[in-house]
Amino acid sequence: MKKVYGTASEALEGVLHDGMFIAAGGFGLCGIPELLIAAIRDAGTKDLTIASNNCGIDDFGLGILLQTRQIRKMISSYVGENAEFMRQYLSKELELEFNPQGTLAERMRAGGSGIAGFYTKTGVGTMIAEGKEHKDFDGQTHILERGIVADLSIVKAWKADDTGNLVFRKTARNFNPPAAMCGKICVAEVEEIVPRGSLDPDQIHLPGIYVHRIVQGTHEKRIEQRTTRKKEDA
Protein backbone atom coordinates (compact mmCIF):
# COMPACT_ATOMS: atom_id res chain seq x y z
CA MET A 1 0.00 0.00 0.00
CA LYS A 2 1.48 3.32 -1.06
CA LYS A 3 1.50 5.81 1.80
CA VAL A 4 4.02 8.45 0.70
CA TYR A 5 2.73 11.37 -1.41
CA GLY A 6 4.56 14.23 -3.05
CA THR A 7 2.53 17.18 -1.78
CA ALA A 8 -0.11 17.92 0.84
CA SER A 9 -2.71 18.44 -1.89
CA GLU A 10 -1.91 15.04 -3.39
CA ALA A 11 -2.13 13.43 0.03
CA LEU A 12 -5.66 14.81 0.47
CA GLU A 13 -6.85 13.99 -3.04
CA GLY A 14 -10.12 12.06 -3.03
CA VAL A 15 -10.54 12.48 0.72
CA LEU A 16 -12.03 15.95 1.17
CA HIS A 17 -15.74 16.73 0.90
CA ASP A 18 -18.01 19.50 2.15
CA GLY A 19 -19.54 18.97 5.57
CA MET A 20 -16.87 16.55 6.76
CA PHE A 21 -15.59 16.08 10.32
CA ILE A 22 -11.83 16.60 10.78
CA ALA A 23 -9.67 15.93 13.86
CA ALA A 24 -6.52 18.06 13.89
CA GLY A 25 -3.42 17.65 16.02
CA GLY A 26 -1.43 20.45 17.57
CA PHE A 27 -1.46 22.75 20.58
CA GLY A 28 -1.29 26.47 19.88
CA LEU A 29 1.20 26.63 17.02
CA CYS A 30 3.18 23.63 18.27
CA GLY A 31 2.91 20.48 16.17
CA ILE A 32 0.19 21.78 13.86
CA PRO A 33 -0.31 20.21 10.40
CA GLU A 34 0.20 23.56 8.65
CA LEU A 35 0.76 22.16 5.14
CA LEU A 36 -2.41 20.07 5.23
CA ILE A 37 -4.42 22.99 6.62
CA ALA A 38 -3.21 25.18 3.74
CA ALA A 39 -4.15 22.44 1.26
CA ILE A 40 -7.67 22.27 2.72
CA ARG A 41 -7.95 26.04 2.33
CA ASP A 42 -6.81 25.85 -1.28
CA ALA A 43 -9.27 23.02 -1.98
CA GLY A 44 -12.15 25.22 -0.80
CA THR A 45 -13.76 22.45 1.27
CA LYS A 46 -16.46 24.08 3.41
CA ASP A 47 -19.00 23.51 6.21
CA LEU A 48 -16.31 21.74 8.21
CA THR A 49 -16.55 20.51 11.77
CA ILE A 50 -13.08 20.45 13.31
CA ALA A 51 -12.01 18.95 16.63
CA SER A 52 -8.79 20.56 17.81
CA ASN A 53 -7.50 21.95 21.10
CA ASN A 54 -7.66 25.47 19.65
CA CYS A 55 -7.95 27.17 16.27
CA GLY A 56 -4.48 28.56 15.63
CA ILE A 57 -4.11 32.32 15.40
CA ASP A 58 -5.68 34.81 13.02
CA ASP A 59 -3.25 34.30 10.16
CA PHE A 60 -1.77 30.85 10.76
CA GLY A 61 -2.85 27.30 11.47
CA LEU A 62 -6.57 26.56 11.53
CA GLY A 63 -7.18 30.31 11.77
CA ILE A 64 -6.75 30.61 8.01
CA LEU A 65 -9.83 28.40 7.54
CA LEU A 66 -11.81 30.80 9.71
CA GLN A 67 -10.73 33.68 7.49
CA THR A 68 -12.15 31.89 4.45
CA ARG A 69 -15.34 30.85 6.33
CA GLN A 70 -14.71 27.16 5.69
CA ILE A 71 -15.37 26.08 9.29
CA ARG A 72 -18.95 25.67 10.51
CA LYS A 73 -18.24 24.22 13.97
CA MET A 74 -15.25 23.88 16.32
CA ILE A 75 -14.88 21.33 19.10
CA SER A 76 -12.17 22.96 21.21
CA SER A 77 -10.74 23.66 24.65
CA TYR A 78 -9.29 27.13 24.17
CA VAL A 79 -10.10 30.07 21.91
CA GLY A 80 -8.22 32.98 23.48
CA GLU A 81 -5.44 33.56 20.93
CA ASN A 82 -7.68 34.06 17.91
CA ALA A 83 -9.63 37.30 17.60
CA GLU A 84 -11.51 36.13 14.50
CA PHE A 85 -12.55 32.95 16.32
CA MET A 86 -14.02 35.01 19.15
CA ARG A 87 -15.69 37.42 16.73
CA GLN A 88 -17.38 34.66 14.73
CA TYR A 89 -18.48 32.84 17.88
CA LEU A 90 -19.93 35.93 19.57
CA SER A 91 -21.74 36.95 16.38
CA LYS A 92 -23.16 33.40 16.05
CA GLU A 93 -21.38 32.79 12.75
CA LEU A 94 -19.50 29.83 14.24
CA GLU A 95 -20.82 26.97 16.34
CA LEU A 96 -18.60 26.05 19.29
CA GLU A 97 -18.59 22.96 21.50
CA PHE A 98 -16.32 23.51 24.49
CA ASN A 99 -14.43 20.48 25.86
CA PRO A 100 -11.96 20.36 28.74
CA GLN A 101 -8.53 19.52 27.34
CA GLY A 102 -8.25 16.13 29.01
CA THR A 103 -11.78 15.21 27.97
CA LEU A 104 -11.09 16.18 24.36
CA ALA A 105 -7.88 14.13 24.26
CA GLU A 106 -9.64 11.13 25.78
CA ARG A 107 -12.61 11.45 23.40
CA MET A 108 -10.17 11.19 20.49
CA ARG A 109 -8.24 8.31 22.05
CA ALA A 110 -11.45 6.47 22.91
CA GLY A 111 -12.81 6.84 19.39
CA GLY A 112 -9.57 5.48 17.97
CA SER A 113 -9.68 2.54 20.39
CA GLY A 114 -13.23 1.49 19.55
CA ILE A 115 -14.68 2.85 22.80
CA ALA A 116 -18.07 4.48 22.22
CA GLY A 117 -18.08 6.55 25.40
CA PHE A 118 -16.75 6.97 28.93
CA TYR A 119 -17.75 8.60 32.22
CA THR A 120 -15.76 11.45 33.77
CA LYS A 121 -16.19 13.82 36.73
CA THR A 122 -14.74 16.69 34.72
CA GLY A 123 -17.42 19.23 33.87
CA VAL A 124 -20.07 18.07 36.34
CA GLY A 125 -22.17 21.03 37.44
CA THR A 126 -21.07 23.24 34.53
CA MET A 127 -22.39 24.05 31.06
CA ILE A 128 -20.24 21.14 29.81
CA ALA A 129 -22.64 18.71 31.51
CA GLU A 130 -25.84 20.11 30.03
CA GLY A 131 -27.86 17.50 28.15
CA LYS A 132 -25.46 14.66 29.01
CA GLU A 133 -26.22 11.48 30.90
CA HIS A 134 -25.25 11.60 34.59
CA LYS A 135 -24.32 8.53 36.61
CA ASP A 136 -22.97 8.04 40.12
CA PHE A 137 -19.90 5.90 40.80
CA ASP A 138 -18.71 5.40 44.40
CA GLY A 139 -20.84 8.30 45.53
CA GLN A 140 -19.55 10.77 42.94
CA THR A 141 -21.41 12.05 39.90
CA HIS A 142 -19.94 11.54 36.42
CA ILE A 143 -21.09 12.57 32.96
CA LEU A 144 -21.04 10.49 29.80
CA GLU A 145 -18.73 11.71 27.04
CA ARG A 146 -18.82 10.14 23.57
CA GLY A 147 -15.72 8.99 21.76
CA ILE A 148 -14.80 10.97 18.64
CA VAL A 149 -14.60 9.25 15.26
CA ALA A 150 -13.69 11.74 12.52
CA ASP A 151 -13.87 11.39 8.76
CA LEU A 152 -10.26 12.60 8.53
CA SER A 153 -7.34 13.14 10.87
CA ILE A 154 -4.56 15.60 10.00
CA VAL A 155 -1.42 15.52 12.15
CA LYS A 156 2.19 16.69 12.20
CA ALA A 157 5.13 14.45 13.15
CA TRP A 158 8.90 14.78 13.25
CA LYS A 159 9.89 11.52 11.54
CA ALA A 160 8.15 8.71 9.71
CA ASP A 161 9.12 5.65 7.73
CA ASP A 162 7.28 4.64 4.58
CA THR A 163 4.94 2.34 6.52
CA GLY A 164 3.59 5.27 8.55
CA ASN A 165 5.31 4.71 11.88
CA LEU A 166 5.54 8.16 13.49
CA VAL A 167 7.89 9.84 15.95
CA PHE A 168 6.95 13.21 17.41
CA ARG A 169 9.42 15.77 18.75
CA LYS A 170 9.10 16.76 22.39
CA THR A 171 5.96 18.83 23.16
CA ALA A 172 4.87 18.72 19.50
CA ARG A 173 3.56 15.28 20.41
CA ASN A 174 0.63 16.92 22.31
CA PHE A 175 -2.77 16.09 20.71
CA ASN A 176 -1.28 14.47 17.61
CA PRO A 177 -1.38 10.77 18.63
CA PRO A 178 -5.02 10.72 19.81
CA ALA A 179 -6.10 12.89 16.87
CA ALA A 180 -4.39 10.49 14.46
CA MET A 181 -6.06 7.49 16.07
CA CYS A 182 -9.64 8.70 15.74
CA GLY A 183 -9.79 9.41 12.00
CA LYS A 184 -11.21 6.93 9.51
CA ILE A 185 -8.39 8.21 7.31
CA CYS A 186 -5.23 9.72 8.82
CA VAL A 187 -2.89 11.95 6.82
CA ALA A 188 0.40 12.90 8.46
CA GLU A 189 2.85 15.57 7.40
CA VAL A 190 6.40 15.06 8.61
CA GLU A 191 9.74 16.81 8.60
CA GLU A 192 11.65 13.71 7.50
CA ILE A 193 10.89 10.31 6.00
CA VAL A 194 13.55 7.79 7.02
CA PRO A 195 14.32 4.33 5.62
CA ARG A 196 12.18 1.45 6.76
CA GLY A 197 13.74 -0.29 9.76
CA SER A 198 15.78 2.73 10.88
CA LEU A 199 13.36 3.77 13.64
CA ASP A 200 13.91 2.15 17.03
CA PRO A 201 10.66 0.25 17.70
CA ASP A 202 10.76 1.40 21.34
CA GLN A 203 10.84 5.05 20.21
CA ILE A 204 7.83 4.92 17.86
CA HIS A 205 5.00 7.01 19.33
CA LEU A 206 2.28 5.99 16.87
CA PRO A 207 2.32 2.74 14.86
CA GLY A 208 1.75 2.91 11.12
CA ILE A 209 -1.51 0.95 11.35
CA TYR A 210 -3.21 4.27 12.15
CA VAL A 211 -1.60 6.26 9.32
CA HIS A 212 -2.85 6.01 5.74
CA ARG A 213 -0.94 8.78 3.94
CA ILE A 214 2.30 10.69 4.55
CA VAL A 215 3.80 13.81 3.05
CA GLN A 216 7.18 15.34 3.79
CA GLY A 217 7.56 19.10 3.74
CA THR A 218 9.30 22.22 4.96
CA HIS A 219 7.68 23.82 7.96
CA GLU A 220 7.61 27.32 9.38
CA LYS A 221 8.77 27.71 12.99
CA ARG A 222 6.57 30.41 14.48
CA ILE A 223 6.46 31.74 18.01
CA GLU A 224 2.90 32.19 19.22
CA GLN A 225 3.67 35.00 21.67
CA ARG A 226 7.06 36.67 21.56
CA THR A 227 7.96 38.31 24.85
CA THR A 228 11.12 40.40 25.03
CA ARG A 229 12.67 42.94 27.35
CA LYS A 230 14.68 46.04 26.64
CA LYS A 231 18.42 45.63 26.61
CA GLU A 232 19.85 46.97 29.83
CA ASP A 233 22.57 49.58 29.67
CA ALA A 234 26.01 48.18 30.36
Other CB atoms within a 10 A radius of the CB of residue 110 amount to: 21
SS3 152: strand
- Provide the mean pLDDT of the chain: 95
CA torsion angle 212 216 218 222 (round to 10): 30
Which pLDDT value is given to residue 202?
97
pTM of the model as a whole: 0.93
Domain residues of the chain, as ranges? 4-117+146-216
At 152, the amino acid letter reads L
Percentage of the chain beyond pLDDT 90 is 87
**Which among 13, 68, 26, 78 has a CA at the least distance from the CA of 46?**
68
Fold (CATH) for 4-117+146-216: Glutaconate Coenzyme A-transferase (3.40.1080)
The DSSP H or E segment spanning 184 is: strand 183-193
CB 53 within 8 A of CB 31: no
Q: 69 versus 81: which is more confidently predicted?
A: 69
The pLDDT tens digits for 35-76 are 999 999 999 999 999 999 999 988 899 999 999 999 999 999
CB 191 within 8 A of CB 117: no
CA distance 224 to 81: 9
